Amino acid sequence: MLFIYSGVQVPLDEVRTNPEHLKMLEEWLRSYRSEELFDEHGTLHQEIADVAPKGNLRIGMNAHANGGLLLRPLSLPDFWQYAIDVAEPGRKEVSATYVLGTYLRDVMKENLATRNFRVFGPDETASNRLQAIYAVSGKRWDAAYESVDENLTPDGRVLEVLSENLCEGWLEGYILTGRHGLFSCYEAFIHIVDSMFNQHAKWLQECRTLPWRKPIASLNYLLSSHVWRQDHNGFSHQDPGFIDHVATKKSEIVRIYLPPDANTLLSVAEHCLRSRNYINLIIAGKQLAPVWLGMEAAVRHVVSGLGKWEWASNDGEGEASDPDVVLACAGDVPTLETLAAVTVLRDWEPGLRVRVVNIVDLFTLETNDQHLHGINHADFDRLFTTTKPVIFAFHGYPALIHKLTYERKNHDNFHVHGSRDEGTTTTPFDMTVLNGLDRYSLALDALRHVPRCQARVPEFEQRYFEMMQKHKLFVSEYGEDLPEIRDWKWSPSGTSQPVRADTPTDAEIDTGADQ
């Protein structure tokens, strides 16, 4: 078998039909003088074969080309230490990535001696609220220092450069040579590395077929400053499509996590830092946001990947459960809007039986033969029912949920709300309104799909439009959200009236830079 191959051009492509090409090919091949290299049976002469290095001297056996050989597992602090105490779901507000930063600070500390952990980012480490890390290791800086400089050190283990391509390339090289790391990036800008992500995914895919390649640390992305919170940035910073890009790759390689709060984020991050040979995509907000689950519940939720939140549902428990509608949510802002929608529904239609399902690990939605994390059909049908409407609030583009669930029995009843690529520099709640992800749109859509509520839909629509009008007028006059939106808090029962939040502690509020 003979291939004529060139990475750039095929110089002789008419060998079969053009005798002149054939002659040139023959001359070219004969120029290697194969008769000097091989014996009459076509076997390479032993003295030539002996020239090639053997064993560990072979180029592919260089440990830096097989980084798994050098890999030392990270020493990881107990992430429960960083947990936010949750007496009641959603009463306390923290910046999830700030809390993660305190954990990463100690990951950095515990592995300073082995020098095998780094954090990469395009000048956004502090903006993404990970600045606690600087207490242990600064940003690497080898040039002159000025008096206004902060957190720069010659041996800093945080690498910042305003090039997503460089960050990605550095991190890939770092983990391919046996180390560990995390790339934190604004969600909108991560598309810059789509093509590099592809190459790394392909590399990992091929490596799975080579048993001598030892596992390497996973490539971990933390996307923050995400599409739903663009109070200071405009339309140009808004795009949740990296999830879609990641979801096109082989299920053996990719994992997508949308932790709904700080505690689930801690659990997800620890899991990702321990994992091998994956590409983990974590999306989490940096703004103050409610903590829904105590640490024990958070860990259980992350291990399951998805589940019913009994405390937010009123459809009965276990076998006796019988919802009128399932409100599903994936992502921190969608979870907030979904829980607020539950309280709106209490006002509008008190008798409605609502089940709340939250999804942390997106691939649990796929079938088990599409993705290892996919739950089986019986569990899926139990969770989402086979006949009831599912109003799904999603962080990204709605179509992805349809794509992940199209083999499920109830998928015709999935009504997904997510990004419609609408946005501007506006308030947090107005971003959800612009895209139909807000609590009122979710509540209205739920009622529209419950048969026994049909007659009253015009009345609900009236309430919806009155609310929208009030919201729009307030936002355009004051540039911030209505007090009843801003101050809304989850309550175990009763209506959607605002309740003041607990005052967050200093450690929970980030007073640092904002972008």
What angle do the packed helices 457-478 and 439-448 form, to 10 degrees? 170
- Of the candidate residues 199, 386, 469, 505, the single one contacting a copy of itself (CB under 8 A): 199
Cα–Cα dist 429/440, whole Å? 11
Cα distances (Å, whole numbers) of residue 48 to 52, 57, 304, 423: 8, 17, 58, 67
Which stretch, 86-94, 173-181, 239-247, 331-339, contacts a copy of itself (CB under 8 A)?
Answer: 239-247
- DSSP code of residue 470: H
3-class secondary structure per residue, 104-115:
HHHHHHHCCCCC
Cα–Cα dist 463/432, whole Å? 18
- Of the candidate residues 177, 198, 275, 367, the single one contacting a copy of itself (CB under 8 A): 198
Amino acid, res. 279: I
Minimum CB distance to a copy of itself, residue 267 (Å): 29
- Of the candidate residues 89, 90, 156, 241, the single one contacting a copy of itself (CB under 8 A): 241
Site map (CB under 8 A) of a copy of itself, residues 343-382, x = contact:
----------------------------------------
Residues for the chain: how many in total?
Answer: 515
> Is residue 177 close enough to count as binding a copy of itself by CB under 8 A?
no
- Of the candidate residues 93, 106, 187, 239, the single one contacting a copy of itself (CB under 8 A): 239
> Is residue 205 close enough to count as binding a copy of itself by CB under 8 A?
yes
> Is residue 115 close enough to count as binding a copy of itself by CB under 8 A?
no
343's CB contacts (< 8 A; 6+ apart) are 439, 488, 490, 491, 494, 495, 496
Residue 239 or 349: which CB sits closer to a copy of itself? Answer: 239
Tokens 């259980």: give the residue.
300
> Is residue 8 close enough to count as binding a copy of itself by CB under 8 A?
yes
Is 395 within 8 Å of 239 (Cβ atoms)? no
> Is residue 235 close enough to count as binding a copy of itself by CB under 8 A?
yes
Cα–Cα dist 196/169, whole Å? 8
Residue 46 or 209: which CB sits closer to a copy of itself? Answer: 209
> Is residue 505 close enough to count as binding a copy of itself by CB under 8 A?
no
> Is residue 10 close enough to count as binding a copy of itself by CB under 8 A?
yes
User: By CB under 8 A, how many residues form the interface with a copy of itself?
Assistant: 49
> Is residue 511 close enough to count as binding a copy of itself by CB under 8 A?
yes
> Is residue 155 close enough to count as binding a copy of itself by CB under 8 A?
no
Q: Where are the beta strands (DSSP E) in 368-463?
A: 390-394, 414-417
> Is residue 236 close enough to count as binding a copy of itself by CB under 8 A?
yes
> Is residue 487 close enough to count as binding a copy of itself by CB under 8 A?
no
- DSSP code of residue 480: S
> Is residue 28 close enough to count as binding a copy of itself by CB under 8 A?
no
Cα–Cα dist 96/24, whole Å? 67
71's CB contacts (< 8 A; 6+ apart) are 178, 179, 214, 215, 216, 217
Minimum CB distance to a copy of itself, residue 232 (Å): 6
Which stretch, 69-77, 143-151, 230-238, 386-394, contacts a copy of itself (CB under 8 A)?
Answer: 230-238
Minimum CB distance to a copy of itself, residue 449 (Å): 15
Minimum CB distance to a copy of itself, residue 399 (Å): 4
Site residues for a copy of itself, 407-426, by CB under 8 A, read 411, 420-421, 425
Residue 155 or 244: which CB sits closer to a copy of itself? Answer: 244
Which stretch, 202-210, 264-272, 327-335, 446-454, contacts a copy of itself (CB under 8 A)?
Answer: 202-210
- Of the candidate residues 88, 194, 310, 379, the single one contacting a copy of itself (CB under 8 A): 194
Amino acid, res. 402: H
Cα–Cα dist 217/277, whole Å? 6
Tell me how crowded residue 25 is: count the other CB atoms within 10 A of its CB.
Answer: 17
- DSSP code of residue 423: -
Site map (CB under 8 A) of a copy of itself, residues 391-410, x = contact:
------x-xx-xx--x----
434's CB contacts (< 8 A; 6+ apart) are 420, 422, 423, 424, 426
178's CB contacts (< 8 A; 6+ apart) are 63, 64, 67, 68, 69, 70, 71, 72, 116, 216, 217
By CB under 8 A, name the binding residues for a copy of itself. Answer: 1-3, 5-6, 8-10, 13-14, 189, 191-192, 194-195, 198-199, 202, 205-206, 232, 235-236, 239, 241, 244-245, 247-250, 397, 399-400, 402-403, 406, 411, 420-421, 425, 476-479, 511, 513-515
